[in-house]
């Protein structure tokens, strides 16, 4: 596992340009990954492509998203960075965008920006073989948003919910990169109206889970909302919430091939949580995760599926100190 960038703890809260490589077999870190040519950032995206880590996007501690326009590659075998020249077709820098890997191209859409109104409704696809960006059509695209749920189905990018424009939490879109075309996603009941969602694609359905958005002057009263979307039928079905995680934002989720595991996040009362649950879509049921040995409650952490375990690392505690620890959870097979 490779960790890079992020934000340091109080009182400085400085955005970082360092990281580390974790050898899962040995449980040992190789640290630093520093390169003066790679700008410090947080809330960026990172993908593993052809034996290298690719990063793009993000924001500085001054709120500057222009830094995110820089593409950078890191090779753990060579312990070296490379930064290709900027191109005229690359999209505007942003934080927390939707991003998926199709197997050939990266698709980046939406996200937050320092420019009012603070969120975007455009995107582009990136071909790593040619280091070339191609703008996406904006015709029929969802309204501007960040922190949306998204997945690659094998032929389409599906986007749902999030925060931004007033209708963001109950709308979405389906993008076909071959045709460069957006189609709407059904918002008919029981589609969930959800802000700060997490999601997992099972190979047949997009499972979306999160909390209801705040409306007007209401600052409390959020509830858990969830649903499963079938992209072939353009239809939603309700899913169980009983026995699942309590109401929260900024949680993480991984898909194991059998379970969607949701962990961590922040309660509506502002408490960072160190618990979660796993969801079985075949049986439509949740099972609480054990809390013994779990990391302390946190948000903005990393959660990845290794093939047999969910690995959680880093993040921010309730008192706004950053965490430099983590743990692995092994679900039943």
One digit per residue, pLDDT tens: the chain, 333 residues? 999 999 887 767 788 888 999 988 888 998 878 888 898 999 999 999 999 999 999 998 777 888 788 899 999 999 999 999 888 888 999 999 999 999 999 999 999 998 878 999 999 999 999 999 999 999 999 999 999 999 999 999 999 999 999 999 999 999 999 999 999 999 999 999 999 999 999 999 999 999 999 764 445 678 999 999 999 999 999 999 999 999 999 999 999 999 999 999 999 999 999 999 999 999 999 999 999 999 999 999 999 999 999 999 999 988 788 898 999 999 998
Q: How far apart are CA 197 and CA 206, in angstroms?
A: 12
Q: What does the angle CA 58 – CA 63 – CA 64 come to, to the nearest 5 degrees?
A: 65
Residue 72 contacts residue 82 (beta carbons within 8 Å): yes
pLDDT of residue 117: 82
- Amino acid 114: pLDDT: 82
Residues 129, 103 contacting (CB under 8 angstroms): no
Q: Please give the pLDDT value at position 11.
A: 67
Closest CA to 17 of 27, 29, 32: 32
DSSP 231: T
Query: 57 Cβ partners below 8 Å, 6+ apart?
Result: 41, 43, 44, 45, 65, 68, 93, 94, 95, 96, 97, 99, 108, 111
265 Rama sector, left if φ>0, alpha if ψ -120 to 50, beta otherwise: left
pLDDT in the model for residue 94: 93
Q: Given this model, what pLDDT does residue 217 score?
A: 44
Cα–Cα distance between 218 and 146 in angstroms, integer?
21
State the DSSP string of 50-114: TTEEEEE--B-TT---GGGG--EEEETTTTEEE-PPP-TTPPPP-BS-EEEE-SS-EEEE--B-S
d(CA 220, CA 217): 9
Q: How many C-alpha atoms does 46 have within 13 Å on its Cβ side?
A: 20
Predicted pLDDT of residue 326: 94
Q: For residues 256 and 63, what is the distance between their CA atoms, to the nearest angstrom? A: 35
Q: What is the predicted pLDDT for the residue at 68?
A: 81
Name all domains of the chain by residue range, CATH numbers in brackets.
Answer: 1-136 (2.120.10.80)
**What's the predicted TM-score (pTM) here?**
0.94
């Amino acid at each position: 596992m490779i960790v890079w960038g992020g934000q340091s703890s109080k009182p400085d809260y400085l955005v970082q340009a360092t990281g580390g490589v974790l050898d899962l077999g040995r449980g040992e870190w190789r640290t630093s990954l520093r390169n003066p040519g790679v700008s410090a950032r947080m809330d960026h995206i990172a993908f593993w492509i052809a034996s290298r880590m690719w990063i793009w996007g993000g924001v500085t501690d001054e709120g500057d998203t222009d830094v995110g326009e820089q593409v950078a590659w890191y090779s753990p075998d060579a312990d070296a960075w490379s930064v290709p020249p900027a191109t005229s077709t690359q999209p505007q820098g942003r934080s927390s965008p939707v991003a998926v890997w199709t197997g050939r191209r990266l698709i980046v859409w939406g996200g937050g920006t320092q420019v009012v109104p603070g969120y975007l409704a455009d995107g582009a696809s990136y071909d790593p073989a040619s280091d070339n960006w191609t703008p996406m059509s904006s015709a029929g695209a969802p309204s501007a948003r960040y922190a949306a749920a998204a997945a690659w189905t094998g032929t389409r990018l599906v986007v749902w919910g999030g925060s931004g424009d007033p209708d963001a939490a109950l709308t979405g879109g389906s993008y076909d990169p071959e045709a460069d075309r957006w189609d709407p996603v059904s918002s008919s009941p029981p589609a969930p109206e959800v802000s700060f969602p997490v999601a997992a694609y099972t190979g047949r359905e997009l499972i979306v889970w999160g909390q209801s958005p705040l409306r007007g002057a209401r600052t409390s009263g959020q509830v858990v909302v969830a649903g499963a979307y079938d992209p072939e039928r353009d239809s939603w079905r309700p899913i169980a919430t009983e026995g699942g995680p309590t109401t929260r934002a900024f949680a993480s989720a991984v898909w194991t091939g059998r379970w969607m595991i949701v962990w961590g996040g922040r309660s509506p009362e502002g408490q960072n949580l160190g618990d979660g649950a796993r969801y079985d879509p075949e049986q439509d049921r949740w099972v609480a995760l054990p809390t013994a040995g779990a990391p302390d409650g946190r948000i903005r952490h990393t959660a990845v599926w290794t093939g047999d375990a969910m690995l959680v690392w880093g993040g921010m505690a309730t008192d706004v100190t950053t965490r430099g620890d983590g743990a692995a959870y092994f679900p039943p097979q």
